[in-house]
Amino acid sequence: MKRKRYLTSLVAAFLIISLALAGCSSNAGNSSSGGDDVPQELTYASTTKAVGLSPIETNDSVSSRVIEQIYETLFVRDPKTMEIVPKLAKSYETPDSKTWVIKLKEGIKFHDGTDFNAEAVKYTFDKFRDPETAAPRASLLEPIESVEVKDQYTVVIKTKEPYGPMLAALSHTNASIVSPTADKKGSLNKEPVGTGPFKFVEWATGDHITLEANQEYWKDAPKLQKVTFKVVPEVNTAVSMLQTGEVQFIDGLTPQQLPRLEKLKNVEIMKEEGTPVSYLGFNMKKEPTSDLKFRQAVAHAINREAYVKKLKGLGVQSNSIIGPKVFGYDKAAEKLGYNYDPEKSKQLLKENGYEGTTLKILAANTGNYMMMAEIVQAQLKKVGINAQIESMEWGTFLDVSKKGDFDITFLGWTNSTADGSELLYPNLHSDNAGSSNRTQYSSPEFDKLVDESRTIVDQEKRKQKLMEANELAVKDAAWVVMNHGVVTAAYDKSVKGLEMDPTGQWSLYNVHRE
Amino acid sequence: MPASEAVATQSKLGKQTEGKQKVIVVTLKKLLKNRLAVFGLFIIFIQILMAVFAPWITHYSPVTQSLVNSELPVGSENHWLGTDNYGRDMWSRIVFGARISLVVGLVSVILGLTGGIALGLISGYFRKLDGWIMRFVDLLFAFPGILLAMLIIAMLGTSLVNVMIAISIWSIPTCARIVRGSVLSVKKQEYIVAMKSLGAGNSRILIKHILPNCMAPIIVFATMRMATAILSTSALSFLGLGAQPPTPEWGAMIAAGQDYMWTSPHMTIVPGIAIMLVVFAFNVLGDGLRDALDPNMDLG
């Protein structure tokens, strides 16, 4: 008797649970199909939180994603043609190689009602360059000598030397124009005011940032009424939220998440070849990695094809340091690198007395860096190099790698201007050795070419110099390029009109839901 | 010493060893009646076999990658437990991982016991040092266990050896307290007082007479501690503080498999089950031993 009752309750419990589960799954299905009046709202999830919302004072990608919706730059790089076109600017001319005269669009207002004019541009750039501001990307506008207001809508920028990547620098998110009134009143980091299609509403630190449509935008007002940037620290959770419709948009997908996302019926995946690059860097100040022969042996030992396959389409194999989507790329560089050839690697090690070398691989435990480290470790072992991996979290890694306490390390560079100078100068020029040039590569010949690429204003000549510099560094095995990046996003099918730059940036201006 | 007395002592010694053997036999009998404890013993026995014969019962090296064969599911041809994200055989990694967790567990428990027993004996026996040592132990107790281990690793650097050191230090305070408690009760026994009045040295009394009588709680503690040590090693490796790649440590394997939870769940589940079984085994064995070693517990 008692037992029977027990059984009945068990069956009942089972029924309830299965009903509940069925309810859940049908909910998930409904959210994707959408109705006639889908709210014009969008929630984006990132795993880390934004640092601040002032373009002048920040330099991390999560902050930039928000900043790009609130502020605008004078120029932008067209994602399709990769040409730089005016945005807040109307036109520009260069009377001589050190002077840039920029005409501005008229009748644009900041969110707080302040007029956008030459004064605002001067204010922004002066603040950006002020040593007291200590802007993290100050180097972008470092070559500028003065910014002058010619008339209300004309600015004249004079540089110390001819500055080739000027337009690329001015199209960088961090060179966005800010409202002088708002900046004088308070901190833009907490209360951002720009000219962009979205206005700041609130920021619950560590949880979310809310923006709303700017109805007075200088073009048509955006269709999305409300945009939320949510922090979801765990990728798997973010994907689950995308599945249930709590979040409509995530980016920076990992190859591990891809198979799961592809199975979700309500999710669309976007993959675009982009400008980021991931590479293996050698410590140039230490034996044996300072020896070209040894670096060649390492490059020959690594099967990058197998590694790129593991990325499941989220990476492009290339020998060139300047990637296919970056200004200065040259197909000829592909033939110059050192391809997978373990026999040649062994031979090089033997000829130069490097058999049985022990190395220290330093790797950050984020992104794909651990995967690179483990695969390279196993492949080096095959040619007789014993490598020990030391893994650490990103912050510690940055300190340790700056000190040069490694033989081999893995790094990446998201080139947000898509200009080769912005890749070669910070990462490989001896000016930056020990800071952003973590491998401390230094070659006078290479430095000269990069300097020229920065000081020549003629874009065709610049490209030539960049190609030569790239060729030199590839031959020198300064890096072993693991892969060039693919920028990715996954979004709910109800989201339409989303476009992504090769730099991984996106604007929600043209996005709507249906 | 007169001859007759010597003979008497000898026969007494004989009786003592006989008595010891009897205690062991009785304890074992009690233990074997406890089904859970037998199950625990069985699992531990299997782990020991895996650890000892690791190279002979696996076909693949636990660290050799084969990127073309990566993420094979459980039950694949040639890889019955599948492969991980680098195409390494899961069975090989589990077997060699058994070796690591056993060694780390044993070493850290032995180190911890040595420290803990020494401190406990001294503290319980010499009243003057008692206060000092116990305050030091209290100090160690003030840190939550895993945090103390993380602190030590932060100072020494990440490696398996440092994990062993950290876990053994973490074991010291508990062990010292247990031993001290037993010493306090044993040292008041008449035979110890008798030894003292016969003029036996302190070290002789401590090691030959007090320590053997404190063994029961120490054995139970050591067995239980094995479980904690194995679990903590895995936890620390999971956090990236212990074994460094490509070491096939179970906790590190779970951490690596995390990203593949939805596509290759066996990468986390298999090492997870391994950890669970072994920790469970040591815990039930410890429980069984406690019951078996307790003289007040009846056989029936």
Kindly list the structural domains of chain A, giving each domain's residue range(s) and its CATH number in brackets, ordered by start. 43-48+194-269+488-513 (3.40.190.10), 61-185 (3.90.76.10), 273-485 (3.10.105.10)
pLDDT for residue B233 is more than 90: yes
CB nearest B86 (choices: A256, A375, A389): A375
Size of interface A-B (CB pairs under 8 A): 56
Angle subtended by helix axes B160-186 and B127-141, to nearest 10: 140
pLDDT of residue B300: 42
**Chain A residues whose beta carbon lies within 8 Å of the beta carbon of residue B262:** 236, 239, 257, 259-260
| Disruptive mutation site among A310, A368, A382 for chain B (greatest number of B CBs within 10 Å) | A310
C-beta separation of A89 from A103 below 8 A: yes
CB nearest B262 (choices: A260, A391, A393): A260
pLDDT of residue B174: 93
**Chain A residues whose beta carbon lies within 8 Å of the beta carbon of residue B158:** 390-392
Angle at A429 between CA A424 and CA A431, to 5 degrees: 140
pLDDT of residue B50: 94
C-beta separation of A408 from A479 below 8 A: no
Residue A381 makes CB contacts below 8 A (sequence gap 6+) with: A387
A397 by Cβ neighbours in 10 Å (0-12 / 13-18 / 19+) ranks as buried
CA B41/CA A178 separation, integer angstroms: 71
A238 at the B interface (CB within 8 A)? no
C-beta separation of A161 from A98 below 8 A: yes
Nearest to A454 by CA among A202, A242, A213, A163: A163
pLDDT of residue A472: 92
pLDDT of residue B239: 86
CA A13/CA A20 separation, integer angstroms: 11
Q: Is the dihedral of CA B209, B213, B214, B216 positive or negative?
A: positive
Tokens matching residue B126: 């010499």
B118 by Cβ neighbours in 10 Å (0-12 / 13-18 / 19+) ranks as middle
Residue reference for tokens 């002592």:
B9
User: How many angstroms separate the CA of residue B101 from the nearest CA in chain A?
Assistant: 20
Do you know the residue count of chain B?
300
* Burial A317-351, CB ≥16 within 10 A → b, else e: ebbbbbbbbbbbbbeebeebbbebbbebbbebbee
A69 at the B interface (CB within 8 A)? no
**Chain B residues whose beta carbon lies within 8 Å of the beta carbon of residue A379:** 65
CA A412/CA A481 separation, integer angstroms: 10
pLDDT of residue A8: 61
Tokens matching residue A53: 């919302």
> What type of residue is A348?
L
Helix ranges restricted to H, A212-257: 235-244
Residue reference for tokens 């001319």:
A93
In the stretch 294-313 of chain A, residues with CB closer than 8 A to chain B read 303, 306-307, 309-310
C-beta separation of A499 from A510 below 8 A: yes
Residue A134 makes CB contacts below 8 A (sequence gap 6+) with: none
pLDDT of residue A62: 86
Residue A156 makes CB contacts below 8 A (sequence gap 6+) with: A99, A100, A101, A102, A147, A148, A149, A150
pLDDT, average across residues B73-82: 90
pLDDT of residue A16: 57
User: How many angstroms separate the CA of residue A256 from the nearest CA in chain B?
Assistant: 6
Compute CA B222 distance to the chain's CA centroid, rounded to the nearest angstrom: 5
Nearest to B220 by CA among B292, B146, B164, B289: B289
B246 at the A interface (CB within 8 A)? yes
Q: Could you report the average pLDDT of every consecutive run of 10 residues in chain A (514 residues)?
A: 56 56 42 62 90 88 91 90 91 92 95 94 94 85 93 94 90 94 91 95 93 94 95 90 94 88 93 92 92 94 92 91 91 89 93 91 87 93 92 82 90 87 91 86 93 89 93 92 93 92 89 92
pLDDT for residue B181 is more than 80: yes
Q: What is Dmax (Cα atoms) for chain B?
A: 82
B138 at the A interface (CB within 8 A)? no
CA A30/CA A44 separation, integer angstroms: 20
Nearest CA in chain A to B246: A374
A391·B240 Cβ contact <8 A: yes
| Disruptive mutation site among B67, B239, B264 for chain A (greatest number of A CBs within 10 Å) | B67
User: How many angstroms separate the CA of residue B60 from the nearest CA in chain A?
Assistant: 14
Residue reference for tokens 């860096």:
A369
Nearest to A167 by CA among A500, A492, A386, A459: A459
B156 at the A interface (CB within 8 A)? no
CA B173/CA B176 separation, integer angstroms: 5
Nearest CA in chain B to A365: B240
User: How many angstroms separate the CA of residue B154 from the nearest CA in chain A?
Assistant: 11
Domains and CATH numbers, chain B: 16-40+89-299 (1.10.3720.10)
C-beta separation of B65 from A371 below 8 A: no
C-beta separation of A363 from A334 below 8 A: no
A310·B70 Cβ contact <8 A: yes
CA A172/CA A422 separation, integer angstroms: 11
pLDDT of residue A38: 85
Residue reference for tokens 């009046």:
A37
How many Cβ atoms are within 10 Å of B134's Cβ, its own excluded? 19
pLDDT of residue A395: 77
pLDDT for residue B97 is more than 60: yes
A365·B259 Cβ contact <8 A: no
Nearest to B195 by CA among B181, B213, B184, B208: B208
Nearest CA in chain A to B61: A378
**Chain A residues whose beta carbon lies within 8 Å of the beta carbon of residue B240:** 365, 391-393
CA B294/CA B27 separation, integer angstroms: 9
pLDDT of residue A34: 43
**Chain B residues whose beta carbon lies within 8 Å of the beta carbon of residue A377:** 245-246
A391 at the B interface (CB within 8 A)? yes
A373 at the B interface (CB within 8 A)? yes
Q: What is Dmax (Cα atoms) for chain A?
A: 100
Residue B254 makes CB contacts below 8 A (sequence gap 6+) with: B234, B238, B268, B271, B272, B275
C-beta separation of A266 from A272 below 8 A: no
Tens of pLDDT, residues B38-72: 999 999 999 999 999 999 999 999 988 888 888 89
Q: Is the dihedral of CA A28, A29, A35, A41 positive or negative?
A: positive
Tens of pLDDT, residues B186-200: 888 888 889 888 888
Helix ranges restricted to H, A156-217: 166-170, 180-185
pLDDT of residue A379: 93
CA A164/CA A154 separation, integer angstroms: 21
Nearest to A198 by CA among A183, A175, A214: A214
**Chain B residues whose beta carbon lies within 8 Å of the beta carbon of residue A257:** 259, 262
A260·B263 Cβ contact <8 A: yes
If DSSP codes are grouped into helix, strand and coil, which group holds residue B96?
Answer: helix
CB nearest A389 (choices: B86, B244, B261): B244
Residue A441 makes CB contacts below 8 A (sequence gap 6+) with: A284, A428, A430, A433, A473, A476, A478
**Chain B residues whose beta carbon lies within 8 Å of the beta carbon of residue A239:** 262
B161 at the A interface (CB within 8 A)? no
Tokens matching residue A159: 């540089």
CA A463/CA A469 separation, integer angstroms: 10
Report the side by side order of strands in the sheet with A154-159: A89-93, A99-104, A154-159, A144-151
A303·B67 Cβ contact <8 A: yes
pLDDT, average across residues B226-234: 94
pLDDT of residue A138: 84
**Chain B residues whose beta carbon lies within 8 Å of the beta carbon of residue A375:** 65, 67, 86
Do you know the residue count of chain A?
514
Instruction: State the number of CA atoms in the 13 A half-sphere of A92 facing the CB.
Output: 21
B70 at the A interface (CB within 8 A)? yes
Helix ranges restricted to H, B126-264: 127-141, 145-156, 160-186, 190-198, 202-204, 211-238, 250-257
Tokens matching residue B70: 């990566």
